[in-house]
Structure formats: C-alpha cells, structure tokens
A and B are shown apart, each in its own frame.
Chain A
Amino acid sequence: GQNIDQPTEMTATEGAIVQINCTYQTSGFNGLFWYQQHAGEAPTFLSYNVLDGLEEKGRFSSFLSRSKGYSYLLLKELQMKDSASYLCAVRDRSGQAGTALIFGKGTTLSVSS
C-alpha cells in the first residue's frame, strides 16, 4: 500500500528556519513533490526530487533519501506570507502507467511576527 506521513501543524517566527518532514511508504516510487497551498487556493508547485540529495531553490530547499523513505522541506528567512499548508506528494508508478500523485494530509505552518 501507500502511506505518507507529515506533521499536522507547525509554528515559527518571521526570519526563522523551519523544516517540515515527510515519510512515505510506496512500492513504485517515482519522484517526490512539495506543494504550497494557501487557504482557499489551489496547490502551487515548490519542488521535485527523484534522486537522493538536496535541491535548492531560493529560500526553499528539499531533501530526499529514497533508502529511508524520507524527505524534508526547508524554508529559510520565513515571511508572514509563508503561512500556508505544505503538501508532500509521491508519484507511484507501481502497476499503472499514469503519473498520479499520492498526497499526505498536509502540514499547516503558521508564521508569527
């Protein structure tokens, strides 16, 4: 089966660094995605990892360890506008030809001043 776990809520202050962890179990791993979703809006793409290691994109970085079934999203220099839900999603190709994403329940990050 497929299972994706991430913390439900996290809080942090402006200017700080926060790390959101994600663990997954899947039989046909084919990439891990992080999306940001503000309340009432559509998810927007943040990062994609398919190989082990760190991918950096501005204030956001994402790390993947396939052997451990583990990823994290690192947000630096936090701003109030970073308050949102962060969704970890895995693409599982086992048994099917499609590219569906399996999402975790999301981590609600609250940034305070």
Chain B
Amino acid sequence: DAGVTQSPTHLIKTRGQQVTLRCSPKSGHDTVSWYQQALGQGPQFIFQYYEEEERQRGNFPDRFSGHQFPNYSSELNVNALLLGDSALYLCASSLEVTAGNEQFFGPGTRLTVL
C-alpha cells in the first residue's frame, strides 16, 4: 500500500518564476492538504482540497493556487516566486469519513528560491 508521494524531491528556482508541485494521496484517501514548513518552524496550512474543490484556505496570498484531479491527486502552484517562498512543501492526505481524519504526510518537496 503506497503512502503519500510527492514530486519532485528538490527544486531550485529564481525569483519571479513559477513552480508546480505534485502529490499523490495514500490509497483510498480523498482529501489533500498542503502545508509550508520553513526551517525550524511547524508546518503552516496553505489549503485543502476535497471533491476537486478548495474548501479551506489558510493565510496565503493568491500567488498560491492548487488543483485536485478526479483520481484525488493534487498540484500546488506558486507564481511570482519570492525568496521567502523557500521552504519544505508538505502534502498530507486523509479520508473524509474517518472520525479522526488523521492526516498522513508525504516526504515533501524542498523548494529553494534564489
């Protein structure tokens, strides 16, 4: 049973560029959440997708957008990259109907903006 997978593992971009990160949820999961984790900090919630719609959003600018596909996989897009966007981007999946809605995290994508 595959867990949450993310691609790419590492990415280097320059300021002003655009980036797309990808996530495949754990088998059987239907909800995908994205988090940004700066060095030495806890993960910060970006947004959550369920039934191909963004249903909850954290305090991130519109430069951050996403998508969920019919197979429940998801993409995170960031436009006009800033140096401050350098971070570990974590994808987490869960199953909506389970009582605890425990979220399983992928290994993350390390984004460096130069």
- Residues of A whose CB lies within 8 Å of any CB of B are 4, 31, 33, 35, 41-45, 48, 50, 87, 89, 91, 96-106
Contacts and interface: CB of A to CB of B under 8 A. Distances in A.
B33 interface: yes
Contacts of B107: 41-42
Interface string B27-49: 00001010100001111110010
Which residue, of A43, A44, A100, A106, has the highest number of chain B Cβ atoms within 10 A? A100
B42 A100 contact: no
B45 A96 contact: no
B100 A31 contact: yes
> 3 smallest A-B Cβ distances: which pairs?
A98-B56, A103-B42, A42-B105
Given A35-B105, A48-B100, 17 more contacts: A4-B42, A33-B102, A33-B103, A42-B105, A43-B105, A45-B104, A50-B100, A87-B43, A91-B101, A97-B56, A99-B33, A100-B48, A101-B35, A101-B45, A101-B92, A103-B43, A103-B45
A105 B56 contact: no
22 contacts: A4-B42, A31-B101, A42-B105, A42-B107, A43-B105, A45-B102, A45-B103, A50-B100, A87-B42, A89-B42, A98-B48, A98-B55, A99-B33, A99-B96, A101-B33, A101-B35, A101-B43, A101-B103, A103-B42, A103-B45, A105-B40, A105-B41
